[in-house]
Structure 1
Amino acid sequence: MSTWPARTPGYGYPQAPSGPGYGYPGQPGQQPQPPAGPGYGYPGQPGQPGPYGQQTAYGQQPGQPGPYGQQTAYGQQPGYGSPGQPGGQPGFPAQGYPGQPTVPMYPQPAGGGRKSNAQLWIIVAAVVAIALIVGGGVWYANSADGGKKNETASTGGTGGKGGGEKGGDTGGTSSGGSEKAPSDPASKLLFQIPSPKVAKDDSVIVSGSWLTEKAYVKSGVAEIVGYDPVKGSKLWTVKLPGPVCTASEHATDDGKTAVVFQPKMPPKDSSAGCSQVAAIDLVAGKQLWTKTVSSGDYPVTFDNVTVSGRTVALGATEGGSAFDIDSGKALWAPKTSDTCYDAGYGGGAKLVAVRKCGSYDARELQIQTIDPASGKVISEYKLAKGIEYASIVSTEPLVVAADVGDSAQDGSGISDFFSIDNKTGKLKTRISAPGEQFAARCDGITRVEHCSGLAVGADRLYLPTEEHDGTGEYSRTNEIVAFDLSTGKQTGQRADAGDGYELTPLRTDGGNVIAYKSAPYDEGGQVVSIDGGSFKQTTLLRNPATESVRDAESSMSPEYSELIYSQGRLYMSAVYADDGGSGDEEYLVLAFGAAG
C-alpha cells in the first residue's frame, strides 16, 4: 500500500504570497498556524465552518455556494477528460501562475532521461495549503517482518464505527493484519519533544518521519534525529547545512531513505533553492552521500523525492533524476532535447513517473511504470488531454488521482481516481469522487506523491466522507466507504465514526485499515483497526483525556501533522516549526504507548 505523506500551493488553493520563506524558497516568511480553537466536537458552536473553511452540511444541496463563492451543484462534473474551465477556480490562476512562461521542456526520455466571506474562505484555504506544502515523508517498517515490508502513513479523514461513550467498539482482534488489540487499549504519553526554536517571524520545514525497529526518526531544523522509540532520548543526529524541503515517504528494506534540503540556512543563500539530495541510513544513523544536478549554470531545484527498490528518484520542472541509494551513482538525469519531462515520481513497491508533455494549456500526462534501476518504461497510461496535474496515490496497486476539468471545486485536487494495470498500462476503472462528498486531498502541482485522508490496499480504495452533523447536539461525524479497484463501484461497506468523532486513515494492515480517531473536546484520540470484511472497529489505542494531554494532541491534527502507528505506539509530529508567537506550548513530536 502506498498513500500520503513539496511544494507549491496545493492544487486549487489560492496562491501564497511570493517571497523567500525560511526553510522553503518562494514561500512567505511566516507560515500561518492552523486555525486556533477548541478541540474537534467542542459544544456550543453550532454552524461553525468545517475543517476546510466551508459549511459542510451532509448532502449539500445543489446551488449552495462553494468555498470560493461559486455554485457547486451536488455531484456535478464536466465530461471525462474535459478541458479546464476558463479562468480556473476563482481566487486561483488557471493552469499555472500569471505571467509564467511555459514550463521548460527538459525532460528525460524513456530509459534514461527522465474580509468578506469570500476573503475568509481564501484565508482558511491558504492555511490548509501551507500545511499541505510543508507535509513530508512518513515511513513505517513493519516490526512483525523485521522491517522487510514498507508501508506509509498519511493524513486525511475517514470514518469508523462509533458506539458508547468512548466512541467505538473495544476488545477483540482484527483479522488479516499484524496489529493486534491489547487487553487494555488505554495509553499514556511516552514522551514529548518541544518544537525547535527559530528566529522571530520565521518558520522552517521539519517534514519527514520514519520508524524502524530501533528508532523513531524525525527531521528537525537542518538535522535528522533518531530517538529511542519508547523514551524519546536522542540516539543519533545527522546535521545538514540547511533545512529539509521534502522527504521520501518510503525507504528500502534495510532502512535507507532520502531527503531534499537547502545548501545553507536562509537567508544566506536562498537562491540555491532545494538543490541538495542526501541518502540517509535510518538504521546506522548516518548520511551516505549528497548530490546535486546541474541545468546549465544553475543547480536543479527538486520538487519531490521518493525511493523504490535501490533507487532515489527526484522530479523537477527540468526533468527527472535518479541515483543509486547505496553508492550515489547517477542513474539518469534531465535531457534538454526532449519534448516531455518527468515531473515527479511515486515510489514504494513500484516506481511510477508522472510525465508531462505539451504546453500548460494543452497538457498531456503520461503515467509510466518504470524499472527503477534503468528507467526503462514497463507500461504507460495516458490521461485525457487538458488534465494539468496528477497525483500518485499508490504504486501497487497503481492508483492515480486527478482533478478532471477543475471540477473538484474544493481545493482537494481530486475529482476522479484512475485504477491502472501496472503490467499493461490499461485503465481498469475510473472512480468519481465529488469534492463535496469526500474529504481526501492531493497536492499534485509539484508533489506528485502527496495525498492524505485515504488508504489503498487489497484491491480497495478507502475514502472518507466529508464531516456532517451527528445525532447529538452540535456533534459532527463522518464515515468511511470502500471502492472496488477492479469495478470502480462501492462495495457497500461503511464504517461510522460516531458522534463527535472523525477518523483519518493511516495505512492498510493486511486487509484492514488502521485509522486515527479524532475525539470530542473532552476525550483523547484513538487508533482503531477497521476490519476489511465486516468493517467492525477494534480499538488499538485510547489516549489520555486529561486536559494538558488533550491540548497537546489536538495541536497535532491529522490535517497538519505526520502520524505513524505501529505495534501499540502512536507517533505524532509537526511538519514545520515557527517562532512560537502564538504563546501556546508547541511540540515537534508526541509519542503514545501502552499505559501498563
Structure 2
Amino acid sequence: MTADSARRRRRRRLFGIGAVVTILALCAGGWLVWPDRDDQSQESGKPSANTAPQGRLDIRETVEKPPKSTTGRMAFRFSVDDMRPGEEYEMPGSWATDKVLAKGIGRTLVGFKMGADVTTDDEIWRLPLSGPICGVTRHVTVEGRTAVLHRNHKNPKALCDHVTFVDLDSGKKLWDKEFPASDSVFGVDAMTVTMTRATVAVTWDRGSAAYDMDRGTRLWKNMKTSGCDHQGLAGGRALLMLMACFADDEMTYRVRNVNPRTGAAEWTYRVTDGVKDVALLSAEPAVLGVSAGEIGVTHLISLDHRGKRRTTIGLQGGRFEVKCRILRFQVVDDCPSTVVTDDQVFVTSRERDNSNWILSFDLATGKAVKKFDSGRNRLIYPLRTSGKHVLAFRDSDDHITPMEVVSLDPRTGKETPYFSFGLPPEAWTLTSQELADIFVQNGRIFFSSARATGPDDKDGRWSWLVLGVGSDRASSN
C-alpha cells in the first residue's frame, strides 16, 4: 500500500461539522523544512520596551527579537483533505502563544501544539460552544487569554448573545456570560467584542457592557441614548467606542473614550458631518479612518488624550489605501494594512507595476516621515508594532522571489531582515490580508484562513488552513 493511499483511508469529519480530512505525514516542499524535534522553542515574545512592565491582565505587547538565522522553516501546519464540493465552514479567529496555535471553527475553539503538522483530531484541546462563533478580537492578555462571542444555539440564525473568556494554552473556559442581543442587519451581526486591561467589553447596537477578566462579573452596562447606536469597540491600551447617531434622516458619528472599569465617558469626539463611515485604527493613541464621501477610507484623524483633533492626514485621492475587512459579523477595528505606533501611522500604497511601499505619517503634524519600498515583484504590508519598531511582511508577487518578515525602524528608516522563505502553491491564498489572518507571534509568522471551502470538482484537494513559519534557529538575546 502506498503512503498516499494509506493516508486517504484515514478520513474524519472536520470537527464534527462535515469536512472529511486525512492525516498529512509529509511536509510541503518549497524552501521550507521542518525543524528538528529538539529545536522547536522560540521564546522571542517579551514585554514591550515602549511601556512600563506589563501585568498579567494587560493586553500583551511583545517584542520580537532578530533571529540568529534568516532562513525560514516550517513551524506549524493545519490542513484538511477531501472536502466535498460546495462545503464551506467559517473559521473566525486565530491566536498564538509560545506553545499553542488556537483556531475558531464553526462553534468550536481548538488548540494545536506548536511545531507540528496536524489535521482533525490532532488538537491538544477542544472547547465546544453553545453555538457558532459570531465575534472575535485579535487581542490576547499577557497570560494568554482572549474572548469570543457565540450564539446561544447550534442554529446559525440564533441570537449572538454570549461572551466566553478562554485560556489559550489549556483551552479552559474561564467564564461565559449572556448579554442583550440585537437582530442582524442585512445578515451581519451587530455585536462586537474587545479587551483592555482587566476588562472584556461588548456592544450590541442598542447598548454595551463590560466584564471583569478574573471573576466574569459585570462591571457596567450602558444602554442606547440620544438616538445613538453602539456600533463597535477598539481595545488594547484603552477603550474606544464608535457611535452612530441618527437625526432628521442624517447619520453622524461620535467616538467616545470609555473608562473600562466604570463605563463613564472620558471624552467624546464628534466626527464631521457628511462622513459615510468610520474605522477605529487605534485606541491609544486614538487614530480614526474616515470615509469622506467615497467608498473606503479617505482620511486619517489623530486625536490627543482629551479627544481633540491633532491632525488630518489625506490619503492622496486613493494613492494610499487602508483596507478594512468586512466579515459576516460587525467589526470596526480590523484594518490589517495599517499600523499605529506611539507617534506615527504606517499606511500602504496602492500596488503599481507589481510593487508598492509603506509610508509613515507623523500623528502630530500629519507630515510624511519614512518610506519603505517593497522592491521589484514584491509587495510589503505592515503587521504590528514590536517595541519601537514595526514588523512587516514582504510578499512575493511572482512567487519566485522569497517572502520575508522584516523589522522597520520608524526613526532611522532602517530595515532589518528577520527571515525569508518560500511557499508552495497550496498556501499562496493564505498570504492575502483580505482572506486570511496574518500575524507574528513568538518568532513565527502565521497565515490563517478565515474560511474553509470545498473544491470545485469531485477530485478533491488539500486545503491548507493555517501555516506557521519561523527562523531555523532561535532568536538572539
Q: Which residue of structure 2 aligns with residue 565 of structure 1?
A: 440
Q: Which residue of structure 2 aligns with residue 143 of structure 1?
A: 45
Does 2:129 match 1:240? Answer: yes
Using the TM superposition, give the Cα deviation of residue 145 of structure 1 relative to its aligned residue in structure 2, in angstroms.
2.8
Larger RCO, structures 1/2 (Cα 8 Å, 6+ apart): 1
Q: Which residue of structure 2 aligns with residue 455 of structure 1?
A: 339
| AA at the equivalent of 2:462 | E
Q: Which residue of structure 2 aligns with residue 441 of structure 1?
A: 323
Aligned length: 411
Using the TM superposition, give the Cα deviation of residue 319 of structure 1 relative to its aligned residue in structure 2, in angstroms.
2.3
- Indicate which of 295, 308, 312 corresponds to 1:430: 312
Question: Which structure's residues are more often strand, by fraction?
Answer: 2
Does 2:100 match 1:215? Answer: yes
- Aligned residue for 2:425, secondary structure, equals helix
Alignment of 1:204-353 (within 5 A): 204-231=89-116, 234-265=123-154, 269-294=155-180, 302-333=190-221, 335=223, 338-353=226-241
- Aligned residue for 1:487, secondary structure, equals coil
- Aligned residue for 1:555, secondary structure, equals helix
Q: Which residue of structure 1 aligns with residue 467 of structure 2?
A: 590
- Aligned residue for 2:321, secondary structure, equals coil
Does 2:305 match 1:416? Answer: no
Q: Which residue of structure 1 aligns with residue 70 of structure 2?
A: 185
| AA at the equivalent of 2:380 | L
- Indicate which of 211, 224, 243 corresponds to 1:355: 243
Task: Go from structure 1 to structure 2 and tell me whether the alpha carbon gap of 1:415 and 1:301 turns closer, same or farther (over 3 Å shift).
Answer: closer
| AA at the equivalent of 1:540 | Y
Task: Go from structure 1 to structure 2 and tell me whether the alpha carbon gap of 1:178 and 1:343 turns closer, same or farther (over 3 Å shift).
Answer: closer
Using the TM superposition, give the Cα deviation of residue 346 of structure 1 relative to its aligned residue in structure 2, in angstroms.
0.4
Using the TM superposition, give the Cα deviation of residue 398 of structure 1 relative to its aligned residue in structure 2, in angstroms.
0.7
Task: Go from structure 1 to structure 2 and tell me whether the alpha carbon gap of 1:289 and 1:198 turns closer, same or farther (over 3 Å shift).
Answer: farther
Using the TM superposition, give the Cα deviation of residue 220 of structure 1 relative to its aligned residue in structure 2, in angstroms.
2.3
Q: Distance in 2 between matches of 1:543 and 1:346?
A: 33
Task: Confirm or deny: 8 A CA contact 1:256 1:325 kept in the other structure.
Answer: no
- Aligned residue for 1:529, secondary structure, equals strand
- Aligned residue for 1:270, secondary structure, equals coil
Q: Distance in 2 between matches of 1:557 and 1:144?
A: 26
Task: Confirm or deny: 8 A CA contact 1:185 1:594 kept in the other structure.
Answer: yes
Q: Distance in 2 between matches of 1:191 and 1:369?
A: 39
| AA at the equivalent of 1:563 | I
Using the TM superposition, give the Cα deviation of residue 151 of structure 1 relative to its aligned residue in structure 2, in angstroms.
5.6
Alignment of 1:15-54 (within 5 A): none
1:277-330 deviation digits (Å, cap 9, x = unpaired): 2111223321122222236999x9543111112222122222223222332222
- Indicate which of 370, 384, 393 corresponds to 1:507: 384
Using the TM superposition, give the Cα deviation of residue 263 of structure 1 relative to its aligned residue in structure 2, in angstroms.
3.1
Using the TM superposition, give the Cα deviation of residue 481 of structure 1 relative to its aligned residue in structure 2, in angstroms.
0.8
Q: Distance in 1 between matches of 2:377 and 2:337?
A: 18
Q: Distance in 2 between matches of 1:296 and 1:318?
A: 7
1:38-76 deviation digits (Å, cap 9, x = unpaired): xxxxxxxxxxxxxxxxxxxxxxxxxxxxxxxxxxxxxxx
Q: Distance in 2 between matches of 1:296 and 1:590?
A: 35
Q: Distance in 2 between matches of 1:238 and 1:197?
A: 24
| AA at the equivalent of 1:220 | I
Task: Confirm or deny: 8 A CA contact 1:361 1:386 kept in the other structure.
Answer: no
Task: Go from structure 1 to structure 2 and tell me whether the alpha carbon gap of 1:577 and 1:360 turns closer, same or farther (over 3 Å shift).
Answer: farther
Task: Confirm or deny: 8 A CA contact 2:315 2:321 kept in the other structure.
Answer: no
Task: Confirm or deny: 8 A CA contact 1:391 1:443 kept in the other structure.
Answer: no
- Indicate which of 516, 520, 523 corresponds to 2:401: 523
Q: Distance in 2 between matches of 1:465 and 1:458?
A: 21
Using the TM superposition, give the Cα deviation of residue 205 of structure 1 relative to its aligned residue in structure 2, in angstroms.
1.8
Using the TM superposition, give the Cα deviation of residue 359 of structure 1 relative to its aligned residue in structure 2, in angstroms.
4.1
Task: Go from structure 1 to structure 2 and tell me whether the alpha carbon gap of 1:485 and 1:142 turns closer, same or farther (over 3 Å shift).
Answer: farther
Q: Which residue of structure 2 aligns with residue 540 of structure 1?
A: 418
Q: Which residue of structure 2 aligns with residue 555 of structure 1?
A: 429
Using the TM superposition, give the Cα deviation of residue 180 of structure 1 relative to its aligned residue in structure 2, in angstroms.
3.3
- Aligned residue for 1:428, secondary structure, equals strand
| AA at the equivalent of 2:46 | A
- Aligned residue for 1:447, secondary structure, equals coil
Task: Confirm or deny: 8 A CA contact 2:84 2:455 kept in the other structure.
Answer: no
Alignment of 1:573-584 (within 5 A): 573-581=448-456, 583-584=460-461
Using the TM superposition, give the Cα deviation of residue 230 of structure 1 relative to its aligned residue in structure 2, in angstroms.
2.1
Q: Which residue of structure 1 aligns with residue 273 of structure 2?
A: 385
Q: Distance in 1 between matches of 2:331 and 2:361?
A: 25
Using the TM superposition, give the Cα deviation of residue 417 of structure 1 relative to its aligned residue in structure 2, in angstroms.
0.8
- Indicate which of 338, 359, 369 corresponds to 1:481: 359
Q: Distance in 1 between matches of 2:280 and 2:248?
A: 20
Task: Confirm or deny: 8 A CA contact 2:201 2:208 kept in the other structure.
Answer: yes
- Aligned residue for 2:116, secondary structure, equals coil
Q: Distance in 2 between matches of 1:274 and 1:351?
A: 22
Using the TM superposition, give the Cα deviation of residue 572 of structure 1 relative to its aligned residue in structure 2, in angstroms.
1.3
Task: Confirm or deny: 8 A CA contact 1:564 1:572 kept in the other structure.
Answer: yes
Does 2:255 match 1:367? Answer: yes
Task: Confirm or deny: 8 A CA contact 2:106 2:133 kept in the other structure.
Answer: yes
| AA at the equivalent of 1:536 | K
Q: Distance in 2 between matches of 1:325 and 1:197?
A: 40
Which sections of structure 1, spanning at least 5 residues, go unmatched? 1-140, 153-176, 470-475
1:15-53 deviation digits (Å, cap 9, x = unpaired): xxxxxxxxxxxxxxxxxxxxxxxxxxxxxxxxxxxxxxx
Using the TM superposition, give the Cα deviation of residue 343 of structure 1 relative to its aligned residue in structure 2, in angstroms.
1.4
Using the TM superposition, give the Cα deviation of residue 360 of structure 1 relative to its aligned residue in structure 2, in angstroms.
8.4
Q: Distance in 2 between matches of 1:314 and 1:246?
A: 10
- Aligned residue for 1:234, secondary structure, equals coil
Using the TM superposition, give the Cα deviation of residue 515 of structure 1 relative to its aligned residue in structure 2, in angstroms.
0.6
1:415-440 deviation digits (Å, cap 9, x = unpaired): 11110013x11111111114520132
Could you state the TM-score of these two structures normalised by the residue count of structure 2? 0.79
C-alpha root-mean-square deviation of aligned residues, in Å? Answer: 2.8
| AA at the equivalent of 2:363 | L
Task: Go from structure 1 to structure 2 and tell me whether the alpha carbon gap of 1:443 and 1:383 turns closer, same or farther (over 3 Å shift).
Answer: farther
Q: Distance in 2 between matches of 1:534 and 1:186?
A: 25
